Structure 1
């Protein structure tokens, strides 16, 4: 709502880009702990250090909460919905929320795969050192930070839909083959190369997806609808990515099988994108027809 005209994608992409700073700090801290402490010390007490460090941000959160101001668009509203009305509107637009969840599926799955699950995958599956796996995660977070604003800017320039469709098709075509290359030749450089490619897909897709989902949600429940769709996708897809990846590897014996889960998420996102933009086009056509009749 504060973005300048024609740059909403670029502005909103920085919300996701800022999250990558947290991944950088966490990965760097994990890398440093593995370099300084023995594995037994990390397992016994060293793992608490990052959590204690994370608590230091709590006072800053309260400071931000006290100082933040509402946007002009929100402040200008004369009528604000009650919670009962918010839930009623969300229920009336359940198709948009569900489709939005499927659109977010690729974002959360890719993010958890290349950041949260990557250290475990590198250490337990590919038998790389913990330090190498964490270093890859750090470099991937830097890559995410770069590609997310690029994705937002590209969606401003060429439209949200073309970027979303292109990235989902690329993910569908390359996720499993890329992880197969990594499984067949596990090394630090190969893991870095494959995850940087997935980072490219994630960054460009998410940079376009955030403004797209924001624009598609009904304006009166924009935050609630966006939050619900995103949290459902995180719970159903993203949060289950480590579990699904581990289960697929154990069930199939194929170390590249997490690519199946990534491909499934890409299919969900592709179908949701096509549905939502078709629905939006039909709504605009109906508005034009009603205005013409009037």
Structure 2
């Protein structure tokens, strides 16, 4: 290690928890707005997409959720390259500002009944803005965490996932409280806007914390490149493909969790408050368990933990959904959500640390952002839409498990390639 990097690493130890706070609170708020949209998709579909058929309206709402993901690769390119040229801190402050602006539009946007076709069009615009912002968030946040203490990348990068668990808990708590305490008319009139307003109010706090944080020592000590995007495609194509494959299961599993409240209500006939309460447990498991998985990955390696989690998901997801479909109750939903939460955490919490090691410092944020957002756009963003379509096309309530099994096979192949071609443990 160079003297400059060694000195920088010593400095980082005094500020590392501030970096964790700066990244986690901003990242949680970034994802909170995205998750809330998915949780309240049924309400939003009726207010902004009144197609005369509940299933069609829901598919339109989930389609709008997915359309925003087309902006993610663009956000990954622009904000990711910006982070590799200028710094991780600058990219993080930019992404939170963009997310706040998109959320503000949703908070005040009139519904279809008030302004007609302009309502869904403006909603799509706001979601595109949020998608662009989120496209640069994962890579910038992961690099910011992983580069403060390089020999503990897994532990500190896992706080990226822990903050997403916090997001799931907050969004699900809002869903539980609002659907349980408000009348249908109140929820449709103003209740669905409350969680978006909450995220908007906390946005300035996240911006302040991020803008006052220190840049990462590893980035400051590295020689930057003027063309991180070109360098990534020229020198790291194989690494990029492997990284995309590794992300597939993580994103499909995450958005399956996001879809579960809708699944519980529409397919199982359970009360919304029960469906949201089950998701709270999943979020708590992810929030609490992620740092432990990250720490373990620093000790024994990342791919072994991820392969074990992927194999278990591949084997268990079909029986779990079969049980849920044939014995729909609060107890079975909670049991499935807890099991899913443990396995998703085992896979996803080790993922940021692995991705941060696949790419060098000079192109790290660009590479991670592209890999993550290409996979999320193709397999995750339209995940709820694909799952809803699979159920409708097959008439089988177990259909969501088919998509999960496919994702597990893809990611297992990528993890094997990472072990054999790149030498990761």
After TM superposition, the score normalised by the length of structure 2 is 0.63
Structure 1 residue 248, shift from structure 2 partner: 1.1
Larger RCO, structures 1/2 (Cα 8 Å, 6+ apart): 1
Note if contact 1:9-1:156 (Cα within 8 Å) is conserved in structure 2.
yes
* Per-residue deviation, residues 144-190 of structure 1 (Å, max 9, x unmatched): 11222222122122211211211111111111111111111011110
Q: Does 1:3 align with 2:149?
A: yes
Match of 1:259 in 2: 401
Counterpart of 2:264 (choices 122, 126, 136) is 122
Which one of 361, 383, 386 corresponds to residue 219 of structure 1? 361
Unpaired runs of 5+ in structure 2? 1-146
Distance 2:228 2:300 in 1: 33
SS of match in other structure, 2:251: helix
Inter-partner Cα distance in structure 1 for 2:220 and 2:380:
34
Distance (Å, rounded) in 1 between the aligned partners of 2:272 and 2:189: 16
Structure 2: distance between partners of 1:161 and 1:51: 37
Is the 1:155–1:163 contact (alpha carbons within 8 Å) kept by the matching residues of 2?
yes
Task: Tell me what 1:142 maps to.
Answer: 284
Match of 2:313 among 168, 171, 186: 171
* Structure 1 position 128, deviation (Å): 0.2
Measured in 1, the distance between the counterparts of 2:180 and 2:350 equals 38
Q: What does 1:146-165 correspond to in 2, within 5 Å?
A: 146-165=288-307
Q: Distance in 2 between matches of 1:76 and 1:218?
A: 13
2:224 alignment partner in structure 1: 80
Map of 1:48 onto structure 2: 193
Aligned position for 1:288: none
Answering whether residue 168 of structure 2 is matched by residue 26 of structure 1, we say no
**Deviation for aligned residue 1:244:** 1.2
* Aligned length, in residue pairs: 277
SS in 2 for 1:70: coil
Alpha-carbon distance in structure 1 between the residues aligned to 2:188 and 2:423: 55
Match of 1:110 among 248, 253, 261: 253
Task: Say if 1:151 and 1:206, in contact at 8 Å, map to a contact too.
Answer: no
Deviations 1:88-146 (A, max 9, x none): 111122222122111111111111111x1011000001110001011111111111112
Match of residue 198, structure 1, among 340, 347, 369: 340
Deviation at 1:45, TM superposition (A): 2.0
- TM-score after normalising by structure 1: 0.90
Is 1:17 matched with 2:162? yes
Consecutive unaligned residues in structure 1, runs of 5 or more: 283-294
Query: 1:210-242, CA deviations, whole angstroms, 9 ceiling, x for partnerless residues?
Result: 111111123321111111111112111111111
CA RMSD of aligned residues (A): 1.5
Q: CA deviation at 1:16?
A: 1.0
Q: Distance in 2 between matches of 1:180 and 1:147?
A: 27
1:4 offset after TM fit, Å?
6.3
Rounded to whole Å, the distance in 1 between the matches of 2:305 and 2:212 is: 36
- Residue aligned with 1:183, SS: helix
In 2, Cα distance between equivalents of 1:51 and 1:70: 30
Alignment partner of 1:186: what SS? coil
1:185 matched residue in structure 2: 327
Cα distance, 1:40 vs. partner? 2.2
Task: Find the residue that maps to 1:56 and give its secondary structure.
Answer: helix
Residues 8/65 of structure 1: CA separation in 2 closer, same or farther (3 Å cut): closer
1:169–1:266: 8 Å Cα contact kept in structure 2? yes
The answer to whether the 8 A contact 2:180-2:272 is kept is no
